[in-house]
């Protein structure tokens, strides 16, 4: 099939423009990834101290284990919290999380499973499946906002305490490195025992708290008041970790996708340039032959 040099040249120009866009998006994603990693690093000392306090309080006050957020009960209604992005162009980031969320929901023994979804991509997908969504939240912007964390935590804690949910599960993308992220499922509520809660936090990537000597605590005004403050705060820490990991994973996936797209654009431009040169050379050769043939015919 004959190819027009002008069409090839226009295609090269279009692909070069796309490559410039994907290259710029690669740089933006790289910058945001560094900020997300720095935010996750900065949050670790706070999370670690919460773990230490939970360890100390669990050892000093067994009565705290009776708090409603720690109590297990028969599971009739479950909630799956799904963390996705508002924007696309991030490879398989959203599809991997959503596939895991579907598997988690199908594997639950609850008679009813409902969803709380963060991010427009997840909202659109869950609704397309006809699954019930109780609450939606926007995905974090450039940085994770403490108000977003508090709003999500309040919704989930209220749902659990009022028996709207008997179990709450988190499904998000755990950030390992810029080149590796893993869809992750963890049980948020009930927390079980305090020792189980601390172990779950350590499994989630936090640094284990160092061994401490036994302390004789004096609780003011009461153990119940402490639990009412400390346990919701701990849940916010877990949600914050999921949001930070999700944000970093999204930027990492977008960086890799845009970098691959830029490299593919460069490779395609090279191939089209060779094709353009070959077609142009053939066109010039044809024109020369036509001129020579015309000259010979004229002399005859």
3-state secondary structure of 3: coil
DSSP structure class, residue 220: S
Can you tell me the distance from the alpha carbon of 248 to that of 174, in angstroms, rounded to the nearest whole number?
9
* 190 upstream amide cis, omega within 30 of 0: yes
Can you tell me the distance from the alpha carbon of 150 to that of 269, in angstroms, rounded to the nearest whole number?
49
What would the DSSP string read from start to end of 165-198? -SEEEEEEEEEEETTEEEEEEEEEE---SHHHHH
Report the chain's C-alpha Rg in angstroms. Answer: 29
For the question of residue 79 being annotated catalytic, the response is: no
Residue of 54, 57, 69, 90 marked active site: 90
Beta-sheet strands, E only, within 84-165: 112-118, 133-137
- Contact assessment for residue 198 and residue 58, using Cβ atoms and an 8 Å cutoff: yes
Which of the residues are catalytic?
A: 90
């Amino acid at each position: 099939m004959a190819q027009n040099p002008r069409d090839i040249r226009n295609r090269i120009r279009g692909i070069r423009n796309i490559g410039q866009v994907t290259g710029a998006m690669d740089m933006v994603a790289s910058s945001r990834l560094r900020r997300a990693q720095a935010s996750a690093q900065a949050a670790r000392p706070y999370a670690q101290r919460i773990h230490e306090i939970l360890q100390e309080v669990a050892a000093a006050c067994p009565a705290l284990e009776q708090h409603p957020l720690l109590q297990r009960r028969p599971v009739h209604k479950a909630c799956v919290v799904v963390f996705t992005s508002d924007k696309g162009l991030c490879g398989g980031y959203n599809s991997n999380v959503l596939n895991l969320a579907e598997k988690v929901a199908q594997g639950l023994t609850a008679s009813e499973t409902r969803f709380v979804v963060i991010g427009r991509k997840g909202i659109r997908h869950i609704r397309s499946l006809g699954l019930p969504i109780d609450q939606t939240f926007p995905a974090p912007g450039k940085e994770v906002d403490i108000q977003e964390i508090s709003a999500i935590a309040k919704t989930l804690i209220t749902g659990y305490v009022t028996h709207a949910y008997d179990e709450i599960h988190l499904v998000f993308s755990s950030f390992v490195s810029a080149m590796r992220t893993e869809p992750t499922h963890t049980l948020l509520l009930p927390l079980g025992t305090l020792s189980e809660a601390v172990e779950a936090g350590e499994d989630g990537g936090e640094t284990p708290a160092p061994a401490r000597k036994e302390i004789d605590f004096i609780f003011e005004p009461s153990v119940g008041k402490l639990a009412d403050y400390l346990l919701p705060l701990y849940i916010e820490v877990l949600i914050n970790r999921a949001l930070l990991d999700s944000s970093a994973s999204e930027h990492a996936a977008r960086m890799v996708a845009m970098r691959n797209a830029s490299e593919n654009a460069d490779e395609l431009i090279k191939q089209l340039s060779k094709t353009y040169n070959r077609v142009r050379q053939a066109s010039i050769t044809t024109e020369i032959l036509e001129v020579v043939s015309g000259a010979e015919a004229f002399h005859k």
